[in-house]
């Protein structure tokens, strides 16, 4: 008899180095755009993740700043001589294209080293400038290289220097002066908003405590929830280049310069550990995709979340080793969904998050201005076969399900990263086949 208590402890130490490899190898076609979005950040051979954070701030009519931050645990420190400190070698480069992505208008790079002897710091950060006149939009391709490991992370970012309400016109800092790179905050946090273009203006903070539901199965025809810009109060702040704001304990906030418009930006309060899962209770909600209503209710009402989650996975398989593998794979997909697909809700709750968790990474992705199309398997073969490899006897693999999921961009006042699945009843059998694979203790992937 093996102990279920070991499973949770074995899972969470992974977060320091994120040893689980989960890769979205996306070939992105941006309409006529000639540059590609390399949106994966985990190397397929080394299984080493780089999760840099970037923030853009427009501080003058002709110049903007890219702020950058990276965990030191994500990069390789080496030394050739024990008498010398460990060192990391990094290169941060950018290429700025016009709005269509066809014409290069600016580029640059910086090289730098980081050293430590006994204990390295948690983060390294830097910034660099790029040239873009006011009232323009552009596409910025960022490239971060870990030279010691010969690995590179790339990301394509839309730059908006035209609309003053845009998040890129605001630099956010906490009370210690640290720059907030993303749109997430912790309950009751105090932040300072900087804007070089607003003087003697008012800014409105709309409070919203709407609880948005998780994605419904791909064959469901349930109506999508609407987006109320506020649910109760609206606070008004006098803005003179900067303002200090005490954020609410729960819910999220939507900032506007004009409440009669649909333009603004949001800050979200998901969880103190977001986008990662570090506590037992956080592991229960993503299981909703695999459970019946009664099963999920029992999971929620369990007295010990740690034991509850362990027992759920152990009951699906006959060995602790397989249960560990299921846990690692499933929750790495959840975390990856949080990193890539978060909008007004956590990424795992979205349509793209749901599909990526249950079906795994798509074989191919075609991306246009207002849609994404995900392709799974080979169109010519619709047979589902058990994958009985000696090295991996617990995976079910589609040898070509021919699945295609289309996600349309949603007009959402809170986020530009919201996409809705074109649902169809024909997905029902594929969905239940995938879910049943997980419920039988077999990771589901389509190749």
Which tokens sit at 191?
A: 């932040």
88-124: b (≥16 Cβ within 10 Å) or e: bbbebbbbbbeeebeeeeeeeeeeeebeeeeebeeeb
pLDDT recorded at residue 357: 96
Mean pLDDT to the nearest integer, 138-142: 95
Q: Is the pLDDT of residue 218 over 70?
A: yes
pLDDT recorded at residue 378: 65
Which tokens sit at 438?
A: 């997980």
Q: Of 331, 376, 339, which Cα lies nearest the Cα of 357?
A: 331
What confidence category does residue 389 fall into, taking pLDDT thresholds of 50, 70 and 90?
very low
CB contact at 8 A, 143 and 157: no
Task: In whole angstroms, give the CA distance from residue 223 to residue 304.
Answer: 35
Task: In whole angstroms, give the CA distance from residue 50 to residue 23.
Answer: 12
Alpha carbon 410 to its chain centroid, in Å, reads 18
In sequence order, which ranges of 211-257 are alpha helices (DSSP H)?
A: none
What confidence category does residue 187 fall into, taking pLDDT thresholds of 50, 70 and 90?
confident
Q: Across 276-401, where does the E strand assignment appear?
A: 364-367, 371-376, 384-387, 395-398
pLDDT recorded at residue 401: 52
CA terminus-to-terminus distance, the chain: 36
* Model confidence, pTM: 0.77
Mean pLDDT to the nearest integer, 391-395: 40
Condensed to tens digits (0 to 9), the pLDDT of residues 106-121 reads 999 999 899 999 899 9
CB contact at 8 A, 255 and 266: yes
Does residue 275 have a cis peptide bond before it, meaning omega lies within 30 degrees of 0? yes
Task: In whole angstroms, give the CA distance from residue 159 to residue 431.
Answer: 37
Mean pLDDT to the nearest integer, 124-135: 94
Condensed to tens digits (0 to 9), the pLDDT of residues 399-435 reads 445 899 999 999 888 888 899 999 999 999 999 999 9
Mean pLDDT to the nearest integer, 78-85: 92
Which tokens sit at 76?
A: 């390789």
Condensed to tens digits (0 to 9), the pLDDT of residues 223-249 reads 777 777 778 889 999 988 899 999 999
What confidence category does residue 447 fall into, taking pLDDT thresholds of 50, 70 and 90?
low
Contacts of 213 (CB under 8 A, 6+ apart): 225, 349
pLDDT recorded at residue 225: 72
Which tokens sit at 323?
A: 């249960």
pLDDT recorded at residue 322: 87
Mean pLDDT to the nearest integer, 167-193: 92
Condensed to tens digits (0 to 9), the pLDDT of residues 244-302 reads 999 999 889 999 998 888 889 999 999 888 988 999 999 999 999 999 999 999 999 98
pLDDT recorded at residue 382: 36
Mean pLDDT score across all residues of the chain: 82
Quote the percentage of the chain above a pLDDT of 90: 56
Query: For the ranges 42-56, 168-182, 247-261, 365-379, which has the lowest average pLDDT?
Result: 42-56
Q: Across 226-319, where does the E strand assignment appear?
A: 234-239, 242-246, 252-256, 265-267
Mean pLDDT to the nearest integer, 340-348: 93
pLDDT recorded at residue 352: 96
Mean pLDDT to the nearest integer, 165-191: 91
What confidence category does residue 318 fall into, taking pLDDT thresholds of 50, 70 and 90?
confident
- CATH label, 31-162, candidates 3.40.50.300, 2.60.40.3880, 3.30.530.20, 1.10.10.410: 2.60.40.3880
Condensed to tens digits (0 to 9), the pLDDT of residues 4-24 reads 334 544 444 444 333 333 333
Number of DSSP helices (H) and strands (E) in the chain, helices first: 6, 21
- The domain limits of the chain are 5-12+274-446, 31-162, 163-269
Quote the percentage of the chain above a pLDDT of 70: 83
pLDDT recorded at residue 424: 93
Mean pLDDT to the nearest integer, 50-56: 88
Q: Is the pLDDT of residue 27 over 70?
A: no
Mean pLDDT to the nearest integer, 59-74: 93
């Amino acid at each position: 008899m093996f102990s279920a208590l070991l499973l949770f402890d074995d899972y969470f130490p992974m977060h320091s180095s994120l040893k689980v490899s989960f890769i979205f190898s996306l070939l992105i076609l941006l309409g006529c755009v000639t540059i590609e979005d390399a949106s994966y950040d985990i190397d397929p051979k080394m299984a080493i993740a780089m999760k840099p954070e970037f923030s853009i701030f427009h501080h003058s009519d002709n110049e903007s700043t890219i702020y950058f931050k990276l965990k030191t645990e994500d990069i390789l420190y080496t030394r050739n001589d024990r008498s010398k400190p460990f060192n990391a070698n990094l290169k941060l480069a950018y290429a700025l294209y016009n709005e269509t992505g066809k014409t290069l208008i600016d580029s640059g790079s910086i090289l730098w080293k980081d050293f430590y002897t006994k204990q390295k710091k948690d983060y390294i950060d830097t910034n660099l400038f790029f040239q873009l006149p006011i009232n323009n939009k552009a596409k910025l391709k960022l490239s971060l290289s870990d030279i010691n490991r010969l690995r590179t992370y790339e990301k394509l970012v839309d730059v908006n220097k035209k609309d003053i309400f845009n998040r890129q016109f605001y630099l956010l800092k906490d009370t210690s002066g640290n720059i907030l790179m993303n749109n997430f905050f912790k309950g009751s946090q105090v932040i300072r908003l900087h804007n070089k273009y607003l003087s003697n203006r008012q800014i409105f903070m709309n409070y919203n405590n709407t609880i948005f539901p998780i994605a419904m199965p791909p064959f469901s025809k349930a109506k999508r929830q609407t987006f109320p810009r506020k649910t109760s109060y609206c606070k008004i702040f006098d803005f003179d280049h900067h303002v200090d704001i005490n954020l609410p304990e729960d819910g999220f906030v939507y900032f506007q310069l004009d409440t009669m418009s649909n333009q603004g930006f949001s800050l979200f309060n998901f969880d103190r550990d977001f986008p990662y899962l570090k506590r037992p209770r956080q592991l229960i909600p993503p299981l909703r995709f695999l459970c019946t209503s009664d099963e999920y209710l029992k999971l929620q009402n369990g007295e010990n979340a740690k034991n509850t989650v362990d027992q759920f996975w152990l009951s699906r398989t006959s060995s602790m080793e397989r249960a560990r593998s299921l846990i690692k794979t499933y929750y790495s997909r959840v975390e990856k969904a949080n990193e890539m697909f978060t909008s007004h809700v956590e990424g795992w709750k979205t349509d793209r998050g749901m599909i990526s968790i249950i079906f795994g990474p798509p074989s191919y992705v075609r991306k246009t201005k207002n849609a994404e199309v995900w392709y799974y398997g080979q169109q010519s073969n619709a047979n589902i076969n058990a994958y009985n490899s000696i090295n991996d006897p617990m995976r079910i693999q589609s040898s070509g399900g021919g699945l295609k999921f289309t996600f349309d961009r949603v007009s959402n006042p809170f986020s530009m990263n919201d996409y809705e699945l074109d649902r169809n009843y024909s997905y029902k059998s594929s969905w239940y086949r995938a879910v049943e694979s997980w419920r039988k203790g077999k990771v589901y992937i389509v190749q």
